[in-house]
């Protein structure tokens, strides 16, 4: 307790120097929380959106299906197992059939994935009610990204060519009955959605699917013959890696600020020990051990971090709260990174993040305060009392 | 330790390495100090006064020989024991006052009691009493840079005396003071010595201080050349 009292007195006595160090340290706190909160918010938002638009509570994949290798699509279809079919009938699963196709908007040729989905499904946010499986025309919907790149509008006819189960090319015209906006590029870019039944018919794959989106992950065992269940751990692995990679880039900024603040603390400690030798000697003469004096100087340096928490909270708390409420407008084309990104990003500041940042900065400050303070344990108290430079 | 004595020194030698050789600061010192003494180690610069005072204050250790300060022998004196001895039983007064400039007079005097973990009420009473002894109750809230040299040294005396130590070691306490302030300080210490029976040991070559001492130990080249008890003050 004495150490804290002394440290506080000495820091207040140092005036402007303390204020500057505390301000830079507080900046480091706020930036660490803000930057990490931004990435956590992005991750959280991307997860929520991806669950809503693409993966629900997991997916069964046909055993040959590999989303990174379109060549596998030729073989990646088989009859939906009866258990999954039953769940689909209850609205707890949504089979999706995927095949390669080519569209010809305004005479241009574009490769797409043609996806068939049950129009009654409610698991995903896709507006599948805009598709009509009973229509004479083949109704289709696309996302705004594809609509923009292909120049498509609702009501347009679109020529499409595909190969059926036997490898025979076929072509027809689709009617665009819906254009939807989604923050998840994977359901939009290069994707054309039509009714599942229609796709099964035109490809000659009745009752078959490439994947089944699940409303809830299976409880007992995840393997069905010829199908593999992919849970969130697997499906979000790539997203997490991408955010992790981006957060490393973002951390450089606050690492520089933190390093500057720590350097200032280190310099102050060195100067302080050099200038206050007489005080150090007096502490020892009054009955403190060298260890206790090292403790006082370490606490004094570490207290910069505590004062920085208070200052950082004063201006950082309202600032961070405001960014959390109003969000941060993302620049155009952010979703070109290939992951879900809404127009506004809402940072998410968890308690663990805030406490973790406080511990990190306080610990780092205490360590850089301790390093120069070790010199005290080698000082001769008699020389120190006289203020002799050692 | 001899009966009634609080410090005994036997065959004390203290040497320091200098260059390739050794410098002997104290050589064959044998002394005893009784409780309540008002004594001084007197001698020219370099005679070993401060070195002897530092050994008595457990800030330094002998190279050879034995000391026993307040029941603690030099052989038992590890840094923790030495710190505890200083904290509980020894007060220091320095030539340069060594007050903490960021603390008020009150806080400077309170500091030794904080180290002893005394309760707040007890601390307050003791600090006010100590400041009354030195006549500085009106300067409680002042900080050392606002005080004169004499006032600063009186604060240092109050700080040394506040825990009512058995022994006060004063190293050239009047060296930075004018004659009037010196006499004031010395009178204060003499009164405290009589009132509280605290043992005072000075290291000095100031004639004004010497005039107040009841025992004068003269050191020359690290050796005791005379040790006389003065019955009456000659000033």
pLDDT tens readout for residues A99-141: 999 999 988 999 999 999 999 999 999 999 999 988 889 999 9
- The mean-pLDDT minimum among A338-342, B31-35, B220-224 falls in A338-342
* Chain B environment of A13 (Cβ under 8 Å): 101-102
The count of C-alpha atoms lying within 13 angstroms of the C-alpha of A355, restricted to the half-sphere facing its C-beta, is 3
Q: Would the pLDDT of A16 be above 90?
A: no
Q: Would the pLDDT of A383 be above 80?
A: yes
Question: Are A146 and A191 a contacting pair, CB within 8 Å?
Answer: yes
Of all residues in chain B, what percent carry a pLDDT higher than 70? 97
Question: Are A328 and A38 a contacting pair, CB within 8 Å?
Answer: yes
The residue-averaged pLDDT of A267-291 equals 91
Among B79, B92, B96, the residue with its CB nearest the CB of A285 is B92
Query: Model's pTM, two decimal places?
Result: 0.72
Q: How confident is the model at residue B74 (pLDDT cuts 50, 70, 90)?
A: confident
Of all residues in chain B, what percent carry a pLDDT higher than 90? 78
Question: Are A310 and A317 a contacting pair, CB within 8 Å?
Answer: no
**Residues in a beta bridge with B90:** B167
Chain B: residue whose CA lies nearest to A386: B96
Output the pLDDT for position A122: 92
Among A278, A290, A292, the residue with its CB nearest the CB of B98 is A278
Q: How confident is the model at residue A339 (pLDDT cuts 50, 70, 90)?
A: low
Asked whether the CA dihedral A192, A193, A198, A204 is positive or negative, the reply is positive
Cα distance between residue B177 and residue B175, in whole Å: 6
The whole-angstrom distance between B84's CA and the closest CA on chain A is: 6
State whether B83 and A13 contact (CB < 8 Å). no
Burial of A218 (0-12, 13-18, 19+ CB in 10 A): middle
Q: Would the pLDDT of A387 be above 60?
A: yes
Strands annotated E in chain B: 5-18, 21-34, 38-42, 64-69, 72-73, 90-93, 167-171, 199-204, 215-220, 223-229
The whole-angstrom distance between B98's CA and the closest CA on chain A is: 7
Q: Is A83 on the interface with B (CB under 8 A)?
A: no
* Chain A environment of B114 (Cβ under 8 Å): 2, 5
User: Which of B59, B160, B168 best probes binding to A when mutated, by most A CB atoms within 10 angstroms?
Assistant: B59
Q: How confident is the model at residue A254 (pLDDT cuts 50, 70, 90)?
A: confident
DSSP assignment letter at A80: P
Cα distance between residue A352 and residue B209, in whole Å: 65
Q: How confident is the model at residue B49 (pLDDT cuts 50, 70, 90)?
A: very high
The residue-averaged pLDDT of B134-140 equals 93
CA quadruple A18, A20, A25, A28: dihedral, nearest 10: 180
Q: Would the pLDDT of A221 be above 90?
A: no
Q: Rounded to the nearest 10 degrees, what angle do helices A16-50 and A290-326 cross at?
A: 50
* Chain B environment of A289 (Cβ under 8 Å): 79-80, 83
**Residues in a beta bridge with B167:** B90, B199
pLDDT tens, position by position, B152-197: 999 999 999 999 999 999 999 988 888 888 898 899 899 999 999 9
Please state the φ and ψ torsions of residue B14, each to the nearest 5 degrees.
-135, 120
pLDDT tens, position by position, A187-217: 999 999 999 999 999 999 999 999 999 999 8
User: Which of A1, A11, A281, A286 best probes binding to B when mutated, by most B CB atoms within 10 angstroms?
Assistant: A286
Q: How confident is the model at residue B235 (pLDDT cuts 50, 70, 90)?
A: very low
Residue extents of the structural domains in chain B: 5-229
Chain A: residue whose CA lies nearest to B57: A285
Q: Would the pLDDT of A42 be above 70?
A: yes
Q: How confident is the model at residue A338 (pLDDT cuts 50, 70, 90)?
A: low
Output the pLDDT for position A261: 85
Output the pLDDT for position A336: 58
Overall CATH class of domain B5-229:
alpha beta
Among A62, A51, A57, A55, which Cα is nearest to A219's?
A57
Among B86, B98, B107, the residue with its CB nearest the CB of A287 is B86
Among A9, A12, A285, the residue with its CB nearest the CB of B57 is A285
- The mean-pLDDT minimum among A94-98, A273-277, A332-336, B190-194 falls in A332-336
Q: Would the pLDDT of A333 be above 70?
A: no
Q: Would the pLDDT of A222 be above 80?
A: no
Q: Would the pLDDT of A332 be above 70?
A: no
**Residue numbers of A between 288 and 347 with CB closer than 8 Å to B:** 288-290, 292
Burial of B38 (0-12, 13-18, 19+ CB in 10 A): buried
More confident residue, A252 or B29: B29
**Residues in a beta bridge with B5:** B34
Distances (CA, A) of A62 to A97, A118, A203, B73, B132: 10, 17, 17, 86, 93
Output the pLDDT for position A334: 61
Cα distance between residue A8 and residue A183, in whole Å: 51
The whole-angstrom distance between B95's CA and the closest CA on chain A is: 9
State whether A286 and B115 contact (CB < 8 Å). yes
Distances (CA, A) of B177 to A382, B54, B84, B151: 22, 22, 31, 10
Left (φ > 0), alpha (ψ -120 to 50) or beta: where does A223 sit?
beta
Among B54, B86, B115, the residue with its CB nearest the CB of A2 is B115
**Chain B positions touching chain A (beta carbons under 8 Å):** 50, 54, 57, 59-60, 79-80, 83-88, 90, 92, 94, 96, 98, 100-103, 107, 111-112, 114-115
Q: Is A284 on the interface with B (CB under 8 A)?
A: yes
Q: Is A287 on the interface with B (CB under 8 A)?
A: yes
Please state the φ and ψ torsions of residue A92, each to the nearest 5 degrees.
-100, 0
Q: How confident is the model at residue A61 (pLDDT cuts 50, 70, 90)?
A: very high
Cα distance between residue B85 and residue B77, in whole Å: 9
Among A9, A281, A385, the residue with its CB nearest the CB of B103 is A9
Cα of first residue to Cα of last residue in chain B, in angstroms, is 33
Rg (CA), chain B: 18
Q: Would the pLDDT of B201 be above 70?
A: yes
Among B217, B235, B91, which Cα is nearest to B156's?
B91
pLDDT tens, position by position, A135-156: 889 999 999 999 999 999 999 9
State whether B102 and A286 contact (CB < 8 Å). no
Output the pLDDT for position A372: 92
Output the pLDDT for position B164: 93
Q: Would the pLDDT of B233 be above 60?
A: no
Among A282, A382, A386, the residue with its CB nearest the CB of B60 is A382
Of all residues in chain A, what percent carry a pLDDT higher than 70? 96
What integer best gives the mean pLDDT of chain B?
91
The residue-averaged pLDDT of B117-137 equals 94
State whether B96 and A289 contact (CB < 8 Å). no
Among A10, A287, A381, the residue with its CB nearest the CB of B87 is A287
What integer best gives the mean pLDDT of chain A?
89
Among A67, A43, A96, which Cα is nearest to A214's?
A96
Q: Count chain A–chain B contacts defined by CB atoms under 8 A.
A: 61
Strands annotated E in chain A: 59-62, 78-79, 93-103, 110-117, 138-143, 157-163, 169-180, 191-195, 208-209, 211-214, 223-224, 227-230, 328-329, 344-345
């Amino acid at each position: 307790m004495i150490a804290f009292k002394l440290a506080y007195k000495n820091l207040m006595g140092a005036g402007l120097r303390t204020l500057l160090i505390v301000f830079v340290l507080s900046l480091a706190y706020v930036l660490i929380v803000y930057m990490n909160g931004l990435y956590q918010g992005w991750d959280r938002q991307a997860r929520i959106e991806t669950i809503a638009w693409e993966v629900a509570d997991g997916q069964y994949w046909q055993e040959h299906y590999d989303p990174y290798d379109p060549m596998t699509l030729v073989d990646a279809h088989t009859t939906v197992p009866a258990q999954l079919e039953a769940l689909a009938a209850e609205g707890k699963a949504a089979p999706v059939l995927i095949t390669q196709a080519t569209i010809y908007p305004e005479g241009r040729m574009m490769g797409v994935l043609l996806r068939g989905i049950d129009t009654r499904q409610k698991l995903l946010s896709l507006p599948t009610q805009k598709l009509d499986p009973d229509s004479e025309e083949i109704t289709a919907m696309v996302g705004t990204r594809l609509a923009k790149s292909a120049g498509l509008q609702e009501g347009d006819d679109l020529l499409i060519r595909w190969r059926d189960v036997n490898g025979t090319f076929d072509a027809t015209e689709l009617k665009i009955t819906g254009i939807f906006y989604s923050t998840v590029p994977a359901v939009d870019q290069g994707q054309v959605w039509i009714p599942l039944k229609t796709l099964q018919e035109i490809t000659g794959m009745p009752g078959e699917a490439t994947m089944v989106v699940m409303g809830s992950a299976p409880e007992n065992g995840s393997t069905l013959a010829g199908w593999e269940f992919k849970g969130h751990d697997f499906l979000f692995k790539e997203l997490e890696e991408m955010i992790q990679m981006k957060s490393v880039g973002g951390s450089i900024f606050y690492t520089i600020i933190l390093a500057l603040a720590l350097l200032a603390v280190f310099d102050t400690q060195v100067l302080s020990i050099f200038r206050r030798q007489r005080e150090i000697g007096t502490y020892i003469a009054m009955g403190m051990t060298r260890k206790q004096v090292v403790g006082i100087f370490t606490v004094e340096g570490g207290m910069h971090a505590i004062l920085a928490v208070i200052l950082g909270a004063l201006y950082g708390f309202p600032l961070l709260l405001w960014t959390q409420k109003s969000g941060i407008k993302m620049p155009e084309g952010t979703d070109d990174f290939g992951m879900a990104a809404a127009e506004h990003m809402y940072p998410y500041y968890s308690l663990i993040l805030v406490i973790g940042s406080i511990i990190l900065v306080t610990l780092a400050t205490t360590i850089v305060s301790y390093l120069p303070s070790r010199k005290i344990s080698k000082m001769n108290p008699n020389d120190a009392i006289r203020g002799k430079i050692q | 330790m001899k009966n009634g004595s609080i410090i005994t020194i036997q065959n004390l030698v203290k040497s320091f390495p200098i260059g390739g050789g050794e410098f002997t600061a104290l050589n064959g010192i044998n002394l005893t100090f009784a409780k309540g003494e008002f004594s001084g180690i007197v001698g020219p610069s370099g005679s070993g006064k401060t070195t002897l005072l530092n050994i008595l204050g457990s800030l330094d250790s002998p190279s050879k020989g034995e000391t026993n300060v307040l029941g603690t022998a030099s052989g038992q004196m590890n840094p923790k024991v030495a710190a505890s001895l200083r904290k509980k039983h020894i007060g220091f007064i320095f030539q340069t006052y060594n007050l903490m400039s960021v603390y008020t007079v009150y806080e400077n005097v309170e500091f030794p009691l904080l180290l002893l973990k005394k309760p707040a009420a007890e601390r307050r009473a003791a600090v006010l009493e100590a400041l009354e002894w030195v006549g500085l109750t009106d300067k409680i809230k002042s900080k050392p840079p606002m005080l004169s040299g004499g006032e600063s040294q009186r604060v240092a005396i109050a700080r040394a005396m506040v825990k009512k130590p058995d022994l006060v070691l004063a190293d050239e306490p009047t060296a930075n003071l004018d004659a009037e302030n010196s006499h004031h300080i010395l009178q204060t210490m003499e009164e405290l010595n009589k009132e509280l029976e605290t043992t005072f040991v000075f290291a000095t070559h100031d004639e004004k201080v010497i005039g107040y001492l009841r025992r004068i130990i003269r050191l020359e080249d690290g050796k005791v050349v005379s040790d006389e008890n003065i019955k009456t003050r000659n000033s």
